[in-house]
Chain A
Amino acid sequence: MLKKLLKYEIKATARIMLPLYLALIVFSLVNLVVNPLKLIESSENTVIQAIVANLSMMLYIVLIIGISVMTLVIMIQRFYKSLLGDEGYLMFTLPVEPSQHILSKLLVSLMWSAASFLTTLLSVAIISRIPDPARIIGELYKILVDFLGYTSLALIPIYLLAAACSGIMMVYTAIALGHLFNKHKLLASFGMYALLYMINQTVLSVCLFLIGTFIMPTLFMSEQPAPEVITFLMAFFSLVSIALAGAGFAVTNHILRNKLNLE
């Protein structure tokens, strides 16, 4: 059933995200050809050229911001409207466990977050016209390996994923908690988000403090090379993020299963 939920969730969101990505990439390619910055330089104050150049830069920025905003809006709306709005009457009467609903929303949200991030990177790469992208990436990779070591480097995407998971689950948990209120559910959700954010920060601070006082000194004293310290920190915070996401998942699942009260 999860597969079917994912299929439907992707269908519902792709029709918004894919055109945005396409627009950004096409726009970047056009810019590659037209090159607004060159236009400004070579314009000798030809007004039209300057306007075209500025406009296209602005449009580009709007597109990039638009993609990140849409990613966030879809994350919130697909959970709030499709599970707790009128559509919830359809979704919650499907023969599917609530946990699968949450999981499908989470996975698709993760997918779009990653896709938005990568598309933006790609467009920046296109527009900044790096002469030899393969070489640059190779060099960048070398620097990172030297500095972080292979293990830490491999941990970067895992950490990013874990952090994104806990971020998205925090949004879902806030919406689910807001649903417990009889009135002003949306407003309550924002309040709950603030509360969860504070809890999240507290947990992270406590972790940092514990590491700083107890673990760091031993790590430094043992004269471990830097990469291993970084590996440890990344692994540790990945686990913390996963734990936070898990807690959020448990709370959200409990509310959707036992405290559901659609308007």
Chain B
Amino acid sequence: MNNILECRNLTKFFGGFPALRNVNLTIPEGRIVGLLGPNGSGKSTFIKLCNELLTPSAGELIIGGHKPGVETKKIVSYLPERTYLNDWMRVSDIIEFFSDFYEDFNPDKARDMLKRLNISDRDRLKTMSKGTKEKVQLILVMSREAKLYLLDEPIGGVDPAARDYILDTIISNYSENATIIISTHLIYDIEKILDDVIFLKEGSVVMSKSVDEIREETGKSVDSLFREVFRC
């Protein structure tokens, strides 16, 4: 099986503060991976490094055979933890934008999913609530037939119904053989859809295992194991 993402001794300093320390990871194709850790453990830093929104201080990061850059951006679909949509745009504008820039974007799929939320092409992003904008963003991201999806806190701060919608959308839309990395601190809700988990603590990887391995070995859910590992 090929690896979609590999990093060796990946390190990132902010000023003198290490946000990520000597991270070594190998993530194969076709997995759903949970990147778990409390706030400030380096989850977002890792995801930003994968998107070239940050540059490593040391170490190496390879995605689909390339260092982060134009080539990796073609195959990585990224959902940041904030809304980046332009208020002046209509839904049709943003769909055109994605079609223009991403070869793997499937506009019909996006329109179809939006229609199911009663969002039409003519709607303006300005008039949407924050929650709706987040859903639109998720739909755009999942309508790409990418090799790697990087979802940063996709279920943070949403109600349970929206949470179900988001998880359903993720499971039923990612392209075959693609890998999904989901960063979150809300493990309970997401555990069932994960193959593997990576625990990050203060910028270091403290565990990297499959969910069923953890359950078999410890007889515990990932959620309760997480609570033990990160007990204050």
Contacts and interface: CB of A to CB of B under 8 A. Distances in A.
A87 B74 CA distance: 18
Interface in A48-95: 86-90, 92-95
Given A86-B84, A93-B73, A96-B70, A261 B54 contact: yes
Interface of B: 14-15, 48, 51-55, 70-71, 73-74, 76, 78, 80, 82-86, 88, 93, 97, 100-102
Size bracket, chain A contacts: 20 to 34
Contact of B55 (A12, A88, A258): A258
B150 to A, nearest CB: 9
A235 interface: no
- DSSP class of A's interface residues: helix, strand, loop or mixed? loop
B15 A95 contact: no
Interface in A1-19: 1, 4, 7-8, 11-12, 15
Contacts of B55: 257-260
A206 B14 CA distance: 39
A182 interface: yes
Contact of B70 (A7, A90, A95): A95
A8 B100 contact: yes
A90 B93 CA distance: 14
A86 B100 contact: no
Given A8-B100, A94-B101, A95-B74, A86 B83 contact: yes
Contacts of B86: 12, 87
A96 B48 CA distance: 16
Given A93-B73, A94-B73, A8 B97 contact: yes
23 contacts: A15-B88, A87-B84, A87-B86, A89-B53, A89-B78, A89-B82, A89-B84, A90-B85, A92-B52, A93-B52, A93-B53, A93-B73, A93-B78, A94-B73, A95-B70, A95-B71, A95-B73, A95-B74, A260-B52, A260-B54, A260-B55, A261-B14, A262-B48
